[in-house]
């Protein structure tokens, strides 16, 4: 599939959304934490579904107030900007899958990572984007919340 150019806002959003996906296998780096891996995988899947479905309360509810994202262009944004961009009615994301998904847990910090090919439309223009991502969750007051997302774009396979 050929990659199409898209505007930076769509690129930012596509990068951000990618970070949210968690379909596939997982492991806990420090072992014996299968229940937490399952919980984090479920949270990530629910967040993905909320984003694709544009359910604002569910999107924001998974995020810490001090959330940050660094997108594939190096742009940094916070929770309010991320939610606003996801809710943009001019953005649609097609269903997608994640490969190489894993969960690594270190105490009250968890790193969720994977790679994906994302397609959709921004401002009516189709886009295709490949990304690797890492989501950082922190357990606060007994609840896991996503605090950071880092996106790295890569070219489509030839």
The pLDDT tens digits for 86-133 are 999 999 988 777 889 999 999 999 999 998 888 899 999 999 889 999
Q: Which long-range contacts (CB under 8 A, 24 or more apart) does 154-158 make?
A: 154/115, 154/130, 155/3, 155/130, 156/1, 156/2, 156/3, 156/117, 156/128, 156/130
Decide if 54 contacts 87 (C-beta within 8 A).
yes
Residue 37 has which token pair? Answer: 């891996």
Residue 70 has pLDDT above 90, yes or no: yes
pLDDT tens digits for range 32-58: 789 999 999 999 889 888 888 899 999
Give the domains, in start order, of the chain with CATH numbers.
8-153 (3.10.450.50)
Instruction: Give pTM, 2 decimals.
Output: 0.79
Find tokens 């007994």 and name the residue.
142
């Amino acid at each position: 599939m050929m990659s199409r150019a898209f505007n930076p806002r769509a690129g930012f959003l596509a990068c951000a959304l990618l970070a949210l996906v968690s379909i596939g296998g997982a492991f806990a780096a420090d072992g014996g934490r299968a229940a937490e891996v399952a919980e984090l995988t479920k949270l990530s899947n629910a967040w993905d579904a909320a984003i694709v479905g544009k359910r604002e309360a569910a999107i924001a509810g998974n995020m810490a107030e001090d959330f940050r994202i660094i997108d594939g262009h190096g742009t940094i944004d916070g929770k309010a900007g991320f939610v606003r961009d996801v809710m943009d009615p001019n953005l649609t994301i097609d269903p997608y899958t994640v490969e190489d998904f894993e969960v690594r847990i270190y105490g009250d910090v968890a790193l969720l990572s994977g790679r994906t090919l994302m397609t959709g439309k921004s401002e009516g223009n189709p886009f295709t984007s490949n990304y690797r991502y890492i989501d950082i969750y922190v357990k606060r007051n007994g609840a896991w919340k996503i605090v950071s997302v880092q996106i790295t774009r890569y070219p489509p396979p030839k």
